Every structure is written in C-alpha cells, then in structure tokens.
Amino acid sequence: MSETEIYQRQGFGNAMGFGQRPALLIVDFVVAFTDPAQFGGGNITAAVEQTVGLLAAARRLGVPVAHTRVVYADDGADRSVFCNKAPGLLRLTEHAPGAQIVPELTPVAGELVVRKTQPSAFFGTALAPWLLGKQVDTVVVTGCTTSGCVRASVVDAMSHNFRPIVAVDGVGDRALGPHEANLFDLQQKYADLMTCAAIAAEFERL
C-alpha cells in the first residue's frame, strides 16, 4: 500500500475548496532567503519567479495582498528560543539589506507588510484581523521556506478557519527533500495545492 493510499484509507486528503473572497499571502521572499550564501538555495528563486505573475494577477483583479518579513530589533531585545536554532536570523533587522523584500515583489500602497519574529505569519501579528476585516475566506500562500514559515503560516491559517491554498510552484525551500515532504503533508491535512496559473484563473473567475 502506498503512502497516499494509507492517507486516503484514513479519510485524509480531501479538498478544502476555493472560497469566494481570496487573499494572497507572500511569505518571507526577502533578499536573505533568496541568497544561497545566506538562507536561500534549492528552488526558492524559481518560486519567486512564479509568484511575480500571480502577484500581478492579484493586483489587477483587486485581490488583497499581504507580505511578510522576518524583522528583529537592532539590539536583539526580541530574541526568542527560535533564534537558538538559527541565530543568524538576528541579522534580519529593519534596515538590513537581507531583510528587504526582493525588488520584483516590492509592496505597493494598500498591501499589508507583516513584520514577524516567529515562523508563522499569524503568530503575534495583525494579519488575521486584517484578513477578517476584508471578509477573506481563502488564503493563497506563496513564499519560503516550504518546511518552515510557509508550513507554519498555512497551519495557522487553517486554525483561524481560513481555507489555505498553497501555490505549489510558488513556494520553495533550500533543500528539495523537505520541500516535497511538506507539500505532501500539507495536501493531506492542511491545504489544497494548486499551481500559480490555476490560482490566477480562480482569481479571474471570482
């Protein structure tokens, strides 16, 4: 019996479904996470390229857009145990070059920029109230890394009762093994997987 068959037999892997009011959440596509010499590598650059087109579609069709950045205080006052695992994250301060959103995805007026110190875009931030204020029911997620901040944000989106849709070609990781394993797990338990092209078509339909 295959791994997929095991999950199917136990009732996992059903569709969340696309709701009526989507938003696009772009997780941590910042310079440091697209640079293999810092925190990047793998298929992250390709995921950025795919997200460019999806972001353009969202903007053209009036879909709400939120971006996230990892931002720590200059003096490390908000350091948490998360930094024990990855102390280099403390270099990502407000004005650090590596902490800036990549130029091709630069936010425009009206788009929310969430500053966070934990993996999830929702933990300790104003993201959920912002989405609720816009009557969003579906959160489309792109970004990096699939096994880290993307996964944490997707699980928390579901926990807030949003329908998470992961853009399968718009998320990336520094290593492909964790990327593929987490996509499998997300699809079975927490989200639907769709390509950026299919998501853009849903934006058009709605």
Contact indicator for 154, 166 with CB cutoff of 8 Å: yes
Measured between alpha carbons, how far is 39 from 202 in angstroms, rounded to an integer?
Answer: 32
Q: Which residue has the tokens 């058009």?
A: 204
Query: Which one is catalytic: 83, 144, 149, 196?
Result: 149
Report the chain's terminal Cα–Cα distance, integer Å.
39
Angle, helices 151-159 vs 176-189, to 10°: value is 10
Active site annotation includes 144: no
Name the β-bridge partners of 140: 24, 165
- Residue at 156: amino acid letter: D
Tokens representing 98? Answer: 């590596």
Measured between alpha carbons, how far is 83 from 127 in angstroms, rounded to an integer?
Answer: 22
Measured between alpha carbons, how far is 83 from 87 in angstroms, rounded to an integer?
Answer: 5
Candidates 185, 132, 129, 128; CA nearest to 153 is 128
Measured between alpha carbons, how far is 191 from 41 in angstroms, rounded to an integer?
Answer: 25
Active site residues: 149
